[in-house]
Amino acid sequence: MRLPCPICGERDRREFTYSGAAVALERPGAEAGSEAWDDYLHNRDNPAGVTRDLWYHEQGCAAWIVMTRNTATHEVLGAALASEARRAGSTS
Amino acid sequence: MRFSGWRVLKEGLTGNKGWQAHWRDATPKSEYDVVIIGGGGHGLATAYYLAKKHGITNVAVLEKGYLGGGNVGRNTTIVRANYFLPGNSEFYSHSLKLWEGLEEDLNYNVMHSQRGQIVLFHSDGQRDAMARRGNAMINQGDDAELLDRRALRRMVPYLDYDNARFPIHGGVLQRRAGTARHDAVAWGYARGASERGVDLIQNCEVTGIDIEGGVVKGVQTTRGAIRARKVAMVAAGRSSQVAAMAGMRLPIESHVLQAFVTEGLKPVIDHVISFGMGHFYISQSDKGGLVFGGDLDMYASYAARGSLPLVEHVMEAGMALMPMIGKARVLRSWGGIMDMSPDGSPVIDRTHVDGLYLNCGWCYGGFKAVPASGDVTAHLIATGTPHAAGARFRLDRFRTGRGLMDEEGTGSQHNLH
Ligand SMILES: Cc1cc2nc3c(=O)[nH]c(=O)nc-3n(C[C@H](O)[C@H](O)[C@H](O)COP(=O)(O)OP(=O)(O)OC[C@H]3O[C@@H](n4cnc5c(N)ncnc54)[C@H](O)[C@@H]3O)c2cc1C
Ligand SMILES: [Zn+2]
């Protein structure tokens, strides 16, 4: 599998570290309550299909990237820097 | 039909014409007392113990593909009871005891082989941790022996003891651990359940769960609607999709795990050997193939095939540990979808819906769990109260933070187990 880094271009999957669903960018407030924190930390849509997850280009430019990917086919549909995806409010 | 040595002899002399199908391929009725979603090891064992221990036989197991086509037929068959934390400890101990009586109980040869498992260590710190784990295993009533380098070398001379990165200092041996024939476990439970009246229904995918006023009423399937008083979700790698039909979002992320087998060789590896530092483990099947595997591919996936970097990693680790296998030719590799939970431990629990039960989160270790999981899940369904051996596998432990079972001590967080 090759993954597109918005900065470096298409690179070998081994350069990246996977960090799970992009929901990790939506940290609830300290007072949000146990349900919200449970959803943030543990519960996942875990789709068999298109998902958005976080990858760290550890052996490249060190950017955090939101990949749009199909978990059933391993097709990569898009990539955006996490900082920008977050600003656009489209991380989930 | 009962199996015996006598029967094998007789069939051998009469052209093997007397063998019959081991279980009935049933068509769905309109209503059952219990419907089990998923015909893998856990679903079949649950059906078996419901019928055998609780006399509940108006039961259907619904399988979207063919029985045993999921992970129960894709794993590397290691059976052990070397867990550490309360919850896992008593559960896997219970499971190993059931394994030891399984063939007699099922009247089925599941080729359970207690050949011993050795977990290697490579430093003083690891030795201490292993000694502690071994003591925990002894305290839970199971066996463990700490082997120093010399004793280990006598037992398994073929390892690379002077590996520069991970010199081998010794290992923990559990003699009662070993392997079993995975397909036979599925078939044996299927036969035992079917004989007692359970309907095993293949090519029957559950597409919806009917709930009225917080009470489960049945399921929708590709072979029509089926009413049920109780429904158990036992779908392993597909748990999230099935639970979503009941409006649940599970603490599960599905990952692919690969395994490999070589051409058949003469006996060379007598035990199960685990090389944790290299994420590598190996045993030899009774047919002679070296069966080995490594770690997850480490990204969410539903493709039942793995990626090449992991293949390379596993081969490298194998070569680092036991260079003698270098010339063996790999026949096949494959992958299965694991229901990974945040703390690496499973869930067997009720849900917010009356009559709906959940069994999931087996990660890459659910084969050894099959007997106890079936027993515990059947007990919960039949009696409404948790079985002592599985009482800690609660779903709410993630929300409350109480009773987490994080064996590796890395934290209750996805992607760390
Ligand atoms: C490569 C590999 C190696 C492994 N090695 C070991 C090991 O050495 N030791 C060990 O203890 N464990 C091991 N495991 C883990 C173990 O195989 C699993 O944890 C266990 O088999 C999962 O439970 P199961 O048998 O019930 O799953 P499965 O056999 O996957 O059963 C689930 C069933 O549910 C069905 N299903 C899903 N959705 C639906 C639906 N909507 N309707 C109807 N049916 C549905 C599926 O088709 C499937 O047959 C390994 C796994 C893999 C992939
Ligand atoms: Zn980059």
Q: Which residue has the tokens 């449970």?
A: A38
Q: Is the CB of B368 under 6 A from ligand 1?
A: yes
pLDDT value, residue B212 = 98
At residue A92 the predicted structure's pLDDT band, cuts being 50, 70 and 90, is very low
Q: Is the minimum distance from the CB of B274 to ligand 1 under 6 angstroms?
A: no
pLDDT mean over B120-148: 97
Residues B275 and B146 in one domain: yes
pLDDT surpassing 60 at residue A89: no
Identify the band that residue A19 occupies on the pLDDT scale cut at 50, 70 and 90.
Answer: very high
- Contact across the interface for A43 and B238, Cβ inside 8 Å: no
Which has more pLDDT, B305 or B179? B179
Q: Would you place residue A67 in the very low, low, confident or very high pLDDT band (cuts 50, 70, 90)?
A: very high
Count residue pairs from A and B with Cβ separation < 8 A. Answer: 73
What's the gap in Å between B181 CA and the centre of ligand 1? 14
Query: Atom 20 (ligand 1): residue with closest C-alpha?
Result: B366
pLDDT, greater one: B2 or B235 = B235
pTM, full prediction:
0.97
pLDDT digits (tens, 9 = 90+) for B58-89: 999 999 999 999 999 999 999 999 999 999 99
ipTM for this prediction: 0.93
Rounded distance between C-alpha atoms, residue B252 and residue B360, angstroms: 8
Cα B161 to the center of its chain, rounded Å: 31
Rounded Cα distance between B281 and B189, Å, is 27
Contact between B334 and B367 (Cβ < 8 Å) = no
Q: In terms of domains, do B50 and B23 share one?
A: yes
User: β-strand A2-5 against A9-12: which pairing, if any?
Assistant: antiparallel
Instruction: Output the domain CATH number for residue B151.
Output: 3.30.9.10
Q: Quick check: CB of B261 below 6 Å from ligand 1?
A: no
CATH of the domain at B371: 3.50.50.60
Note the pLDDT tens digit of each residue in B337-366: 999 999 999 999 999 999 999 999 999 999
The domain total for chain B is 2
Closest CB from A14, A41, A46 relative to B300: A46
Q: Is B400–A34 a contact, with Cβ atoms under 8 angstroms apart? A: yes
The percentage of chain B sitting over the pLDDT mark of 90, rounded to a whole number, equals 95
Are B282 and B228 in a shared domain?
Answer: no
Same domain? B227 vs B187? yes
**Ligand 1 atom closest to B179 (CA):** 8
* Residue B280 contacts residue B317 (beta carbons within 8 Å): yes
Give, in words, the CATH class of A2-87.
Answer: alpha beta
The residue whose CA is least distant from atom 50 of ligand 1 is B75
- Which residues are near ligand 2, the ion (C-beta closer than 5 Å)? A 5, 7-8, 57, 60-61
Return the ligand 1 atom nearest residue B258 CA.
1
pLDDT at B306: 86
Please check whether residue B386 lies inside any domain of the structure.
yes
Position B408 scores a pLDDT of 87
Instruction: From B71, B199, B284, give the residue whose CB has the most ligand 1 atoms within 8 Å, as the site to mutate.
Output: B71
Cβ pair B414:A46 closer than 8 A: no
Residues facing B339 on adjacent strands: B254
Q: Would you say residue A88 has pLDDT above 70?
A: no
**Tokens 């106890």 label which residue?**
B372
Is residue A1 predicted with pLDDT exceeding 90?
A: no
User: Does B121 lie in the same domain as B212?
Assistant: no
Task: Assess whether B261 and B364 both reside in one domain.
Answer: no
| E strand segments, B82-214 | 117-121, 145-148, 170-174, 178-179, 199-201, 206-212
Residue B390 lies in a domain: yes
Any residues with CB less than 8 A from the CB of A78 and at least 6 apart, and which?
Answer: A4, A67, A68
State the smallest CA–CA distance between residue A42 and chain B in angstroms.
Answer: 5
The answer to whether the Cβ–Cβ distance between A44 and B252 falls below 8 Å is: yes
Write out pLDDT tens, residues B167-207. Answer: 999 999 999 999 999 999 999 999 999 999 999 999 999 99
Two structure tokens written together for B9: 């002899």
Closest CA to B371 of B189, B176, B184, B193: B189
pLDDT at B1: 79
Tokens 């087996």 correspond to B362
- In a domain? residue B100: no
Overall average pLDDT of the B112-138 stretch = 97
For tokens 């082997």, name the residue. Answer: B147
What pLDDT, on the 0 to 100 scale, is given for residue A91? 47
Residues B395 and B270 in one domain: no
Average pLDDT over residues B220-235: 98
